[in-house]
Chain A
Amino acid sequence: MARNILVVAEVRNGQLRPVSFECIAAGRAIAEGGSVTAVLLSQADVDGSELIARGADRVVLVKGEHLKEYTPDGWLSALQQVYLAEKADVVLMGHTGIGRDLLPRFAMRNAAGMISDAIAVKLEGGQVVFTRPIYAGKAYVTQIVTEGLIVATIRPNNVAALEADAGRSGDVVQSEAAPVDLRTVVKEVVRQAATGVDLTAAKIVVAGGRGVKSAEGFKPLYELAEVLGAAVGASRAAADAGFCDYALQIGQTGKTVTPDLYIACGISGAIQHLAGMSASKVIVAINKDPEAPIFKVADYGIVGDLFEVVPLLTREFKALLG
């Protein structure tokens, strides 16, 4: 069954987000001869060619004064307009701040089933089957939408994007969003993300726990993260103690991360913390206590003082990576 896929692509800090390419790849894998259309809601500075190179057949650039900033009313109305015009069978978006906010409402507006935070998508007997974690990764389910429109968000960093192919061609069309009353108004945005690397999409995460001891103690972690192009994360104990912002918290009640490499510094490995990071591909633990439970889930363990080990790692990585 040929499916027409609509991927809601996103721009952050002036660049298309890698997860948008990952959604296009997921869409290609389930299209079965249908088309993949990427839609950008008011990202005026992007021409769409990169989305074509990454596997989209068409790009719809939607313009509208009221779309500049994300608001549920503005974006939902614009997405609905495109969806009705494109007659999509599947709508995909990254499980990002905006994806999490927009797609549940979109699904409900269309009385559709939705799979949130999928980590894999495949065809099985002609059906689209999603894999997603439950209990923050303590178990997994496979799940399908049983009828009608399929809506899903896909966790960054889990589905492989297609290599960019500059030789691919496709239409880029412009569209104008109908005006809409905005019931929520964004007054101000306070930028806080400290390294500029998005934690939930990062390939490498350097995380600190109560063992980091203070806000100042996070400095060596930021230095290591800088060298690795990594994001910095934290345990809840570190956030509770005020060493860092809650936005950095990883775990069952914090962010879930799936990087290629997770470096846990001064983190004991409580079950709620493990829930948010245990699906990382490779885990390194640095802890003073050789009995710390984090070593049980680690690939590589160093028993030692993080304030000694982390700067040494920074030095070694610098030498290796130039």
Chain B
Amino acid sequence: MEILVLLKQTFDTEAKVTVKDGRVVDDDVTLVINPYDEYAVEEALKIREAHGGTVTVISVGGDRVDEALRRALAMGADEAVAITPPENADEFVVANLLAAWAKGKSFDLLLAGNVSVDTGAGQTALRVAELLGMPHVAAALKLEVAGGTATVHRDAEGDTEVVTVSLPALITAQQGLNEPRYPSVPGIMKAKRKQIARLTAADLGVDVAPKTAITSVYQATQNRRNRMLGGTAEEQARELVNLLRSEAKVV
């Protein structure tokens, strides 16, 4: 099995998000592999362990993305590729870059996260599948591959759908798919010696302009009543119900 994992580097989920001068500040923020993409890496490694083959990880990102790719290598991925994004790249541009790299290479399986926890758009992987003319199954909770077919249990708004798809296909990971491993010490040592290939849009012959533009960025504001109720549990319950009806007007 030749497996390609699409991976994005995102803010650590603990990170505070600060907006300054119309931008999200990322200077001192810890960056990690997007949690959903980490499930994709883990799944790829498990499939390779069962069926043989190789795992390649690819990411569109700046200099710091090497940290995320190196972690995936330390987990056990065989090869890593980084693509430098052009200015203001949106999902359309990123998908074109990823697909241009993957085109003509014979991967049996593409894995990605279901959504990234930063932009939350959930578009890129499915766009790549479309560009490569591949079927996709999104939000996998369980994945089995055998004889050129994948059987996927997928999350469909809380229900579970059991879907089969012929390979090559793209599958995105939902939480619950697996428990990502920690890199081992030998894994980390090995990863340090590996080269990360770095390409640009020009190298890939991709010349597309973004289709969307962000016109403003602003911080969420919190305007809460912060009212603590008092009295016995019974009094508090009664008061809350009254407040929800007469003051907040939500019931």
Contact = CB atoms under 8 A, between A and B. Distances in A.
A283 B225 CA distance: 9
Going nearest first, the 6 A-B pairs with the smallest beta carbon separation are A113-B211, A183-B135, A312-B237, A138-B17, A108-B130, A104-B126
Contacts of B127: 104-105, 107-108
Interface of A: 70, 72-73, 96-97, 100-101, 104-105, 107-109, 111-117, 129, 132-148, 183-193, 198-200, 204, 228, 245-249, 252-254, 256, 260-261, 271-272, 275, 278-279, 281-284, 290, 295-305, 308-309, 312-313, 315-317, 320-321
Contacts of A147: 211
B75 interface: no
Nearest to B35: A253
A297 B222 contact: yes
A100 B243 CA distance: 37
Nearest to A137: B220
B146 interface: no
Contacts of A290: 228
A252 B35 CA distance: 10
A2 B202 CA distance: 38
B157 A198 contact: yes
B226 A142 contact: no
B204 interface: no
Contacts, number: 260
Interface residue tally on B, bucketed by range: 35 or more
Nearest to A313: B237
Given A141-B217, A186-B161, A198-B157, A282 B248 contact: yes
Instruction: With a 10 A CB-CB cut-off, give which of A70, A133, A190 has the most chain B CB atoms.
Output: A190
Given A299-B248, A317-B251, A191 B159 contact: yes
B31 interface: no
Contacts of B158: 192-193, 198-199, 245, 247-248
B123 A183 contact: no
A115 B212 contact: yes
Nearest to B236: A302
A253 B216 contact: no
Contacts of B135: 72-73, 183-184
